[in-house]
């Protein structure tokens, strides 16, 4: 919306002797989506705008059309005419976004690298510091009102206790913003809300071995070598070892040109030197550091394998994939996926969360301190 205002696509327009403020022409907007790489073609652009209509974000200026038509019709963002439905959830989200932007832009911000139980957390803050800051900045009239705001932010998943054990308190308990408001979100993420396939078809995590060349005599796992030939697979999205190794798969546009060993087991020996429990990970003084990873999936997936359970760990990482670029490493433990605490889950459930979630994956992991 803001980009369209800056580009003058949203402006007052006159039609049949009547002026319609702050509106855009559907056909012009579809052209803009393609020109600015927000949509690959007109059909996708129409689907994206229909999604915005379905979510009451845009509408026809006279509400004469319930669907988005790629024509010389006038539409408007509901936020520009005061008809956007501000539910409690939306209000809390917008308040959280406003506070986050204010906190990250000021000098001497309370958002700092902090440590708790020998684990370091980025952009963390104490509950009492946030309460004091809210009162000082006029965001709350009293400490009690500030605590109520903090609790609302936590209950709506905008902030959280660093180990997800406490509600919000006016004390020296450590919290973090859970949502990265500054991540560039792309409209096409709206079209990936529904799961592409059932977990039963592929119990493995979303991982595509794009560089396949098994070591001689090793039939237990497909190795990933960055210096080997890259095989091209058409129309693959969020694949796994199991789906690639099958003889038939409806998600392949053509028969894949991949060579596999006679036997390729999907449950190789764990890369962990020894089993690790949740209690050990979270115990005071444990030699682990907490990291937040934002992984933007490419055309074939995210590029990693998760295994085990309670806790799960990273079994393999494609050196040339998005996960490796985001800082993921073998032997890291999975703490949360897209805001959901997962230490108590097995790898099949975590794989389902990943495959049915958005293309941009936000994960918290625990990594051993070397």
Q: What is the mean pLDDT of the chain?
A: 77
Out of 11-15, 99-103, 164-168, 249-253, least confident range: 249-253
- Please state whether the predicted TM-score (pTM) of the whole model is above 0.85: no
Please report which confidence band the pLDDT of residue 156 belongs to, taking 50, 70 and 90 as the band edges. confident
Domain 11-77 identical in fold to domain 278-368: no
pLDDT at 252: 31
For residue 192, pLDDT over 50 is answered with yes
Instruction: Give the E-state strand segments of the chain in sequence order.
Output: 11-15, 18-25, 58-60, 74-77, 112-116, 119-126, 159-161, 174-177, 288-296, 304-308, 312-317, 333-337, 340-341, 360-368
Ordered by start, the domain boundaries in the chain are: 11-77, 88-177, 278-368
Q: How far apart are CA 79 and CA 85, in angstroms?
A: 9
Q: Which of 51-55, 228-232, 289-293, 342-346 has the lowest mean pLDDT?
A: 228-232
CATH number of 88-177: 1.10.10.10
Architecture of domain 11-77: Orthogonal Bundle (1.10)
Residue-by-residue DSSP string for 163-207: TS-----SSS-EEEE-S-TTS---GGGGGG-S-SS-GGG--S-S-
Choosing among 3.30.300.210, 2.30.42.10, 3.40.50.2300, 3.40.50.720, the CATH entry for 278-368 is 2.30.42.10
Position 268 scores a pLDDT of 58
């Amino acid at each position: 919306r803001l980009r369209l205002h800056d580009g003058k696509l949203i402006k007052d327009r006159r039609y049949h002797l009547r002026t319609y403020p702050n509106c855009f022409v559907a056909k012009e907007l579809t052209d803009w989506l393609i020109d600015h790489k927000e949509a690959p073609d007109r059909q996708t652009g129409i689907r994206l705008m229909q999604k915005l209509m379905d979510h009451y974000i845009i509408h026809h200026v006279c509400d004469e059309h319930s669907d988005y038509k790629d024509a010389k019709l006038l539409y408007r963002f509901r936020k520009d005419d005061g008809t956007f439905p501000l539910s409690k959830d939306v209000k809390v989200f917008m308040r959280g976004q406003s506070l986050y932007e204010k906190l990250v832009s000021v000098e001497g911000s309370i958002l700092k690298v902090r440590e708790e139980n020998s684990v370091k957390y980025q952009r963390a803050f104490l509950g009492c510091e946030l309460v004091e800051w809210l009162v000082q900045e006029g965001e709350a009239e009293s400490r009690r009102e500030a605590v109520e705001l903090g609790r609302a932010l936590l209950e709506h998943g905008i902030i959280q206790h660093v180990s997800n054990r406490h509600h919000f308190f006016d004390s020296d308990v450590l919290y973090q913003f859970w949502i990265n408001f500054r991540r560039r979100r792309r409209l096409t993420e709206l079209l990936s809300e529904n799961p592409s396939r059932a977990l039963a078809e592929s119990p493995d995590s979303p991982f595509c071995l794009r560089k396949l060349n098994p070591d001689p005599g090793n039939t237990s796992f497909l190795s990933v070598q960055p210096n080997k030939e890259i095989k091209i697979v058409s129309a693959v999205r969020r694949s796994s070892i199991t789906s690639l190794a099958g003889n038939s798969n409806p998600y392949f546009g053509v028969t894949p040109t991949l060579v596999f060993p006679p036997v390729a087991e999907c449950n190789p020996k764990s890369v962990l030197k020894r089993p690790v429990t949740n209690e050990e990970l979270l115990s005071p003084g444990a030699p682990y550091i907490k990291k937040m990873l934002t992984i933007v999936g490419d055309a074939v997936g995210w590029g990693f394998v998760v295994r085990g359970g309670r806790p799960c760990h990273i079994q393999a990482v494609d050196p040339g994939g998005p996960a490796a670029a985001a800082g993921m490493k073998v032997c890291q433990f999975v703490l949360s996926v897209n805001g959901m605490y997962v230490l108590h889950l097995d790898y099949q459930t975590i794989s389902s969360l990943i495959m049915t979630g958005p293309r941009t994956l936000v994960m918290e992991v625990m990594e051993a301190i070397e």
